[in-house]
Structure 1
Amino acid sequence: MSLSRRDATNVFPEVACYFLGALLIAFFAVVLLRSEVRAAQSIDALPDMQLWSDIRKDAYLRAIETEDSPVLAVLRAPSLGLSVPVYNSASDLNMDRGAGVIDGMAYPHEPGHIGIAGHRDGYFRILKDVAVGDNLVLDTLNGERHFIVEDLRIIEPDELEYLQDSQDPRLTIVTCYPFYYAGSAPQRFLVRATPAQKPPTTGQSS
């Protein structure tokens, strides 16, 4: 059965509305799906904050909303599940959102003594469980660098000889101590590491 020109004219608006409605439904479905994916990704991107203080959580969430500084490296401690971005200075902002290179010490991709500082009630609280022999990894601009923890030390804030650059390649991580001290912590906790001869196959050195 064929349609007259008049019948076809009457049917066309109905068909057009049907397809327009279907397109709008598909469009909003895609928008909703993308928003859900972005929300899931933002949640997954957050670090594990189970050990963090409430103050540090709030500071982190505020800090990541600011303009990003370039990340020089990612510091990882596989045995602890630690993975933290390392920025070019140990400013308050950089340590609120990760860790920072101590002024006057080598950058992660440079030779010499690398010094990295971070807050004891944020990323670095897990360092309470670090042990001599643990493997540390720096993912740098020039590739991976592997270190083995050789010494754990508690020092006074004025013992700056432990935080000076040198020709001797090593890595020192520093945070305040005690880890759960109420108020401004009086001491510093050092994790001192030397280059590994070869990348270990597990989170611990052999």
Structure 2
Amino acid sequence: MLKKLSFLFIVFGAVLVGWSGFEIWQSKQAQESALKEAQALVKQEQAFTAAEEKVTLESFQPVKGETIGILHIPALGAELPIVEGTNPDELAKGVGHYASSAFPKQHDQIVLSGHRDTVFRKMGDLKIGDTVTVELPYGSFTYIIENTEIVDADDTTVIRSTAPEEVLTLTTCYPFSYVGNAPKRYILYAKRN
């Protein structure tokens, strides 16, 4: 009986490890696909000439689930796709733009969220003074990290208007090595360079 129980635990553990590996692989594939889509989008917009219709902030109207740009984090050597929205499907593809927050040049808070175990795995390695760049079809915008904080998971006060100041806010779950639903959020604030 004990041998059968041990065998069942081993099989169950192997299935769990296999399923976790599949989930990680699937998430990586979705991120790579979204990044290629974002690179093509940005490249296409850069190829327009002055005579052609160019995407502007006013004409930029992303749809939930759509890949909208690239987040560059030089200190981490990261180039991450930005997807409109922050539900699980969107976050599986990359960094999610919180839909009710602003975009660069709107002079308000821009909120980008990502999973601590995928796109923002090394976010804790970033330091004050490091830069991040948001590349969208209508331009490239660089921000300098000025502050970080750790808040409770249900603290929504970090999402607020900063008008007329433009602040890029990056959020992820914390602690980074926590297994399961993390009890805190790691928040990083950066201002436009």
**Please, what TM-score do these two structures have when normalized by structure 1?**
0.63
- Please say if residues 56 and 96 of structure 1, whose CA atoms lie closer than 8 Å, have aligned partners that are also in contact: no
Q: Please list every run of 5 or more consecutive structure 1 residues that lacks an aligned counterpart in the other structure.
A: 1-52, 197-206
Asked if 1:81 corresponds to 2:48, the answer is no
Q: Partner amino acid for 1:156?
A: D
- What is aligned with 1:169? 166
- Tell me the distance in 1 between the aligned counterparts of 2:122 and 2:91: 15
- Shift of residue 110, structure 1, vs aligned partner: 3.9
- Shift of residue 121, structure 1, vs aligned partner: 0.2
Asked if 1:91 corresponds to 2:87, the answer is yes
Q: Partner amino acid for 2:172?
A: T
Asked if 1:125 corresponds to 2:121, the answer is yes
Q: Please list every run of 5 or more consecutive structure 2 residues that lacks an aligned counterpart in the other structure.
A: 1-19, 38-64
- Tell me the distance in 2 between the aligned counterparts of 1:99 and 1:91: 11
- Please say if residues 106 and 114 of structure 1, whose CA atoms lie closer than 8 Å, have aligned partners that are also in contact: yes
Matched residue count:
144
Relative to structure 1, the CA distance from residue 71 to residue 111 in structure 2 (aligned partners, 3 Å threshold; closer, same or farther) is farther
| 3-state SS in 2 of match to 1:163 | coil
- Please say if residues 153 and 182 of structure 2, whose CA atoms lie closer than 8 Å, have aligned partners that are also in contact: no
**Please, what TM-score do these two structures have when normalized by structure 2?**
0.67
Pick from 146, 151, 164 the counterpart of residue 150 of structure 1: 146
- Tell me the distance in 1 between the aligned counterparts of 2:186 and 2:67: 24
Residues 26-65 of structure 1 deviation map (CA, whole Å, 9 limit, x = unaligned): xxxxxxxxxxxxxxxxxxxxxxxxxxx8465234156469
Residues 161-200 of structure 1 deviation map (CA, whole Å, 9 limit, x = unaligned): 211233220100000001110111110001110011xxxx
- Shift of residue 74, structure 1, vs aligned partner: 0.6
- Shift of residue 99, structure 1, vs aligned partner: 1.0
C-alpha RMSD of the superposition: 2.4
Residues 84-130 of structure 1 deviation map (CA, whole Å, 9 limit, x = unaligned): 11111012111111011113211346431100000000010111211
- Please say if residues 63 and 93 of structure 1, whose CA atoms lie closer than 8 Å, have aligned partners that are also in contact: no
Q: Which has the larger radius of gyration?
A: 1
- What is aligned with 2:25? 58
Q: Partner amino acid for 1:169?
A: E
| 3-state SS in 1 of match to 2:96 | strand
- Tell me the distance in 1 between the aligned counterparts of 2:146 and 2:22: 32
- What is aligned with 2:45? none
| 3-state SS in 2 of match to 1:132 | coil
Relative to structure 1, the CA distance from residue 147 to residue 61 in structure 2 (aligned partners, 3 Å threshold; closer, same or farther) is closer
- Please say if residues 56 and 122 of structure 1, whose CA atoms lie closer than 8 Å, have aligned partners that are also in contact: no
- What is aligned with 1:71? 67
- Tell me the distance in 2 between the aligned counterparts of 1:175 and 1:193: 15
